[in-house]
Structures are given as structure tokens and as C-alpha cells.
Amino acid sequence: MKTIKIRTIVEGIVEGIALVSPIPISFFGGVDAETGIITDSENPLFGESLTDKIFVFPESKGSTVGSYVIYGLSVNNVAPLALIANKAETIVIAGAILANIPFVDKTDLDVTTSIKTGDKLVIDTTQNIIKIKKE
Amino acid sequence: MFLTTEQQKMLDGEHGHAIAKLTHLIVKIGEVNGATRLIPIKNAQIAGVSYLTVGEPIFSFFNMLSEDNVKVSVPSWLNPAGMDMKKWKEMGIKNDFAEKQRRIIKQYQEMGIQTTLTCTPYLIGYKPKFGDHLAWSESSAVSIANAYYGARTNREGGPSSLASAIIGFTADYGLHKKENRVPRIVVDVKATINHFSDFSALGYWYGEKFHGIIPYFKSVKNANIDQVKMLGAAMAASGSVAHFHIAKHTPEAEKVDLSHISETVTFDESDKKQIYNHFNQIKERVNLVVIGCPHSSLEDVKLIDSSLGDKSIKEGIKFWVFSSQKLMQNDEAKKLLTNLEEKGVKIFTDTCMVVSPVVRENYKNILTNSAKAAFYLTRDGTNKVTLLSLSEIIEGVSE
């Protein structure tokens, strides 16, 4: 089991399965707020659902109304369990706070290579760590 | 972060759940960016208005805000919508879109936000003052507020500018701090910069090369607001540049600290040509001309009228100009509009070629004098856009 240090943006203790986007994600135009499905055809996760996964991505890009998409995911009960990014910026910070989805960043490793899709993760913001249990 | 007693109460939920969330949002964005306090803002300019850009998720967010009957606490106004609020049918907007768009505007209005529906609030009387702290989100307006007026705003998102409009504060980081407003690159402008499209090409060229870095332009002869808005808009679109200086023209330029300059670059005729060549895509017949990105001033509209003279727009080509309702209301403007309509020029207000769905959907070959418009209209590859000066456009499409 591997442990990664994190910075907490939105608190929570969450256990779940990772879904890793190797490239920056645009929530606006890239994720369907009604279904939780990734609709960006350039993303290798195209067609996959974020719902109830721990969604891992390097950073976000695109329109700032992406925050409303993240909020919409939660209102429609199709939100991810938590979000992990290399670098948090305004779009996802705003979205995660509005939706109250646990969100962490600034890990000591590149999350998109140290975490693999399917890994079982435990995020614990009381200790500022992620534990990775390999698949 | 240090919070005043009042700010702490807002965060703790004493003013309701929505205010607590919005305060949390601004505090967190501040903390992540190294802010140690919140500062009051004079006003806010809020993007996220067109149904095309916000979609359905905005309604869930509005529901949360309306449960607490939240209102803005500082003067606030809106960016363009997805349609002309009166002439939407003429634009080719469908009923369903219009209904959603009206709902969005009504919700913003109920929060006390003025429905100016323009990206150029400074053209309709809302001119920022030197040193004012603002929360503006339209990227071209942000750059004009910082550069042309010497006010201070970060490039906010729709959600963060709305949150600041409601709580009345933003976090003190980025362009709110003097030390972050200094230029890093000098641009010696050797090319001739006359037309609006030349200013736009210069901005586009710089932004693409030097993403996010504040420039100091020298050797720019004229820099009136209509020219600077083309420069700033293009730079913000291609490179997220939110502030700039022009020697002898912008208010901070004279006293700005030039000790952080790391590089001097030149913008010559070949650089200018390269941008025009990049946006030289139309191989077939032109369908549509779009002017007004950012929104046209009354002077811009007069220039179109005088350039056209006695000529009219050729059959089969549409010529659309985008501006704001407020500018087109007085008698002089109304007369001008009637005159232009007779020559085949249509003025739409409240919207633009970028945030309205119809331009991209219904017209393939588009002429414009704005590199920002060209950039957004060609992003998904379905439209062909050619960038020309206004006089070249009018020469080509009128008879």
C-alpha cells in the first residue's frame, strides 16, 4: 500500500475506486451533468461514467461555467465520490465547494501516473493523505 | 486567512446556507492563491449568461440561491446572452432556446443584477476608476479594466464573479496586488497598426506566444478605447492575458516598474501577416460578416455607415453588427440603425457571434475584423473564417 500526501480543498473521508484521466478535463462540454458520462471525444475516458468513482485528473481547463456542471452532477445524484487533481484551480474549487464533493490537490507525486484506473483509494483529509491499495 | 467578524459570520452560516457556500468559495480560491484577506469590491461583471454556455446546470445553481433569496450587494451587470432579447427570431433562434434564455436572465434580474447584456460595460457608462477593486469575468473587459482604466480585477469565472457580487468581497491576490501588475516582456511594435483588425492581430499574436504574461507595448501611436478593446480581447482569447501596458497611453505605463523585463520582442509586418494568413480560410462564397467582438461602440457603427457610403451589402450576404441595447437607444443611434438596415446591415444587441448558437450553426463562411471572434468561431473546425480590416470587408461585400 502506497501513501500520498495531499492538500485539502474540500474535506471528507472517502473510500472508492479510481478513474484516472491522463489529460486535463473540461467539465463544461466534457462531462454530461445529467448522466455523469465523459463526453469529450479526445479523452481516453470517453463514454465512461464519473458517478461514484474517485475522479483523478491533472488539472481542469475550459469555460468557468464548468463549476455549474460539477454542481449539476451532485444535484442529479451522478457526482463522483471525490476529486483528486495535481493542481486545483478556480473552476473545480468552486464546483467542489458548491457541490460539497471532497477535493484534494498538491500531492507529492503526479497523481495521473501514481494512481491507476481501478485502484482502490482511501482519501482522509483529517490526516491529509491518500492511501492507494493496488487493484 | 484573516477574516473580519462580519466575514466570519457569513462563512459560519449566520446569513444563510447560500451565503456561507459562496463565502467559502471565495475564501478557498483565495487560500489556494496565497491570499491572506478578503477585500471589498466596487462592482461585478458577470459572465455565464448565454444558455449556450451555461446549459441546464445553471438552473440547479439558481435554485440553491433562490431558496435563500440571495441578492447582490454591489452594482453588478451581465455579459451578453445567447440572443437579441427582442429580435431573436430574426437571428434564427428557436423557441425552446429563447424560453430558457429568458428564464436565465429573469433569475439574474431577481438577484438584483442589471441586465446590460454586454461585454463592454465601460462603453455604457460603467467606467472603472483607477485603483478600484472589481470582480469582472468577461476576459476582454477584465483586460480593459486593468489596462485602460488602471482598475484591479483578476480574470474571474462566472461563478466566482457572481459569488463576489453577492458577498461584496473578493480575495486579495493576483492582479489586486501592485507587485503582480508589472510587465515581463517589452513588445516593440514595428508593424503599422491602423485598423481595428491590426490591433486584434497584434493581441492574438502576443497572447499565442506569451501565455499569461503581462506585456509592455512601445511604439504604438494611437490607442483609443475602440482600438485597445480589440487588442485586449484578442490577447485574452489566445493567451489569457489579463493586463497590459502601452507606453504613453495606459495609466500605469508611465510609473510602472520595468526592472522585471526579461525579454524584448518585435512585432513586425511579417508577424502581422502571419496572423492574417492563419485566419484566411474562406475558399468559397462568404455567407456572413460579423462585427462587434467586443461589442461595437456608437463610433464603430458610425464608421461602418461612413465606410459604406451610398453602397449596400450584396444580395446573399448577411452583415451583422453586435452592440449593446443601451448604446442603440438614443435618437441618433436609432436613425443610424434605420439607415444601415436599408443598406443591408443588421444590428443585434444583447448577444454576439461567440455566445449565440446561430452563427456557428447556420453560417459556414464568415468574415470578421476580430481575431477573438475568428479564434472562437474556428475552434471546433466547422466554420471557415477570414480576418480582414473593416474597409477591406466593406469593399468586398458591398456594391
* CB environment B32-56: b (16+ within 10 A), e (fewer): bbebeebbebbbbbbbbbbbbbbbb
B44 in helix, strand or coil? strand
The percentage of residues in chain B with a pLDDT greater than 70, rounded to a whole number, is 100
CA distance to partner chain B, nearest, from residue A70 (Å): 8
Number of domains chain B contains: 3
Residues of chain B with C-beta less than 8 angstroms from the C-beta of A64: 47-48, 137, 156-160
Cis peptide before B357 (omega within 30 of 0): no
What one-character-per-residue DSSP string does A88-128 give? --HHHHHHHHHHT--EEE--SS-HHHHS-TT-EEEEETTTT
Structural contact between residues B105 and B49, judged by C-beta atoms closer than 8 angstroms: yes
Please give the average per-residue pLDDT across B44-51, as a whole number: 96
Are A69 and B55 inside 8 Å of each other by CB? Answer: yes
E strand spans, A26-101? 54-57, 82-85
Would you call B159 and A67 a contact, using CB atoms and an 8 Å cutoff?
yes
Please provide the distance, in angstroms rounded to a whole number, between the alpha carbons at the two ends of chain B.
64
Per residue in B336-363, pLDDT (tens digit) is: 999 999 999 999 999 999 999 999 999 9
Question: Mind listing the pLDDT tens digit for each residue in A68-88?
Answer: 999 999 999 999 999 999 999
Which residues of chain A are at the B interface, by a Cβ-Cβ cutoff of 8 Å? 9-10, 28, 33-34, 63-65, 67-69, 71-72, 75-76, 88-91, 93-95, 97-98
Buried residues in B280-307 as b, exposed as e (16+ CB within 10 A): eebeeebbbbbbbbbbbbeebbebbeee
Pairwise CB contact (< 8 Å): B28 & A69: no
Q: State the Cα torsion B53-B59-B61-B64 to the nearest 10°.
A: 170
**H-run or E-run covering B323:** strand B318-323
B249 shares a domain with B154: no
pLDDT in tens, B18-46: 999 999 999 999 999 999 999 999 999 99
Element (H, E) at A69: helix A66-75
What is the overall mean pLDDT for chain B? Answer: 96
C-alpha cell at B167: 458577498
CB distance B73 to B42 below 8 Å: no
| Exposed / middle / buried, residue B344 (Cβ in 10 Å: 0-12, 13-18, 19+) | middle
Q: Are residues B186 and B223 in the same domain?
A: yes
pLDDT of residue A106: 85
B146 phi and psi angles, rounded to 5 deg:
-70, -50
When pLDDT is averaged across residues B139-162 and rounded to a whole number, the result is 96
Say if the Cβ atoms of B158 and A91 lie within 8 Å.
Answer: no
Per-residue model confidence (pLDDT) at position A134? 73
Q: How far apart are CA B9 and CA B109, in angstroms?
A: 26
Q: What is the pLDDT of residues B77-95, one digit of tens each?
A: 999 999 999 999 999 999 9
Name the H helices within chain B.
Answer: 5-11, 17-32, 51-54, 57-67, 88-91, 95-110, 139-147, 158-167, 196-209, 225-239, 269-278, 298-308, 331-342, 357-362, 371-378, 390-397
Please indicate, yes or no, whether residues B341 and B245 belong to a single structural domain of this protein: no
Taking 90 as the threshold, does the pLDDT of residue B253 lie above it?
yes
CA B330 to each of CA B121, B300, B335: distance values in angstroms, whole numbers, following the listed order: 17, 16, 9
Q: Which residues of A are less than 8 Å from B28 in CB distance? A: 9-10, 93, 97
The burial class, CB within 10 Å (0-12 / 13-18 / 19+), for B309 is: exposed
DSSP β-bridge partners for residue B156: none
Best residue of B1, B23, B32, B376 to probe chain A, by most A CBs closer than 10 Å:
B32
How close is the nearest chain B Cα to the Cα of A30, in Å?
A: 13
The C-alpha of B367 sits at a distance from chain A's nearest C-alpha, in angstroms, of 25
Does one domain contain both B268 and B351?
no
The residue-averaged pLDDT of A103-123 equals 93
Which CATH number goes with the domain that contains B389? 3.30.499.10
How is residue B312 annotated by DSSP?
Answer: -
Active site (catalytic) residues of A: 63
* Chain B residues touching A62 at Cβ < 8 A: none
Does residue A61 register a pLDDT over 80? yes
- The predicted pLDDT at position A135 comes to 60
Query: Which one of B228, B261, B277 terminates a domain?
Result: B277
- Please give, rounded to a whole number of angstroms, the shortest distance from the CA of B209 to a CA of chain A: 19
What is the reported pTM?
A: 0.93
* Confidence category of residue B230, pLDDT binned at 50, 70, 90: very high
- The nearest alpha carbon in chain A to B63 belongs to A75
Same domain for B223 and B254, yes or no, is yes
**Which letter does DSSP use for residue B213 in this model?**
P
Q: Both B310 and B218 in a single domain?
A: no
Decide which of B126, B143, B178 is a domain's last residue.
B178
Which of B32, B56, B137 faces A33 most closely, judged by CB atoms? B56
pLDDT of amino acid B382: 85
Mean pLDDT (whole number) for B120-136: 98
Rounded (10°) CA dihedral B349, A67, B104, B125 = -40
Of B48, B57, B156, the CB nearest to A71: B57
> Do B11 and B118 lie in a common domain?
yes
Is residue B270 located within the same domain as residue B288?
no
Instruction: Tell me if residue B155 falls in helix, strand or coil.
Output: coil
CATH number of the domain that residue B100 is part of = 3.30.499
Task: Assess whether pLDDT exceeds 90 at residue B141.
Answer: yes
With an 8 Å Cβ cutoff, are B53 and A91 in contact?
A: no
Contacts of B7 (CB under 8 A, 6+ apart): B23, B38, B169
What percent of chain B shows pLDDT beyond 90? 97
Please count the other Cβ atoms lying within 10 Å of the Cβ belonging to residue B202. 27
Cα distance between residue A55 and residue B309, in whole Å: 59
How far CA A107 is from CA of A13, A88, B13, B330, B364, in Å, comes to 16, 11, 31, 57, 46
Task: For residue B135, give the C-alpha cell.
Answer: 470582480
The residue of chain B with its CA nearest to that of A98 is B21
If you count them, how many residues does chain A have?
A: 135
Integer Cα distance of B156 and A89 in angstroms: 11
Last residue of a domain, one of B242, B277, B312: B277
> Starting at the edge strand that comes first in sequence, how are the strands of the sheet with B44-46 ordered?
B76-78, B44-46, B135-136
Q: Rounded to an integer, what distance in angstroms lies between the CA atom of residue A51 and that of residue A82?
A: 10
The pLDDT value recorded for residue A63 is 77
Mean pLDDT of B135-148: 96
Which has more confidence, B303 or A64? B303
pLDDT at B235 over 90: yes
Q: How confident is the model at residue A108 (pLDDT cuts 50, 70, 90)?
A: confident
* Confidence (pLDDT) at A65: 84
Grid cell 495609466 — which residue? B251
Q: What is the pLDDT of residue B379?
A: 82
Q: CATH code at B197?
A: 3.40.1060.10
Between CA B290 and CA B368 the distance in angstroms is 5
State whether B54 and B131 are in the same domain: yes
Chain B residues with CB-CB distance to A95 below 8 A: 159
What's the mean pLDDT in A9-36? 94
Chain B residues with beta carbon closer than 8 angstroms to that of A42:
none
- Pair (B28, B120) in one structural domain: yes
B351: containing domain: 279-397
pLDDT at A62 over 80: no
User: Is there a single domain that holds both residue B326 and residue B214?
Assistant: no
State the average pLDDT over residues B287-312: 97
B87 and B141, same domain (yes or no):
yes
Contact B53 A28 (CB under 8 A): yes
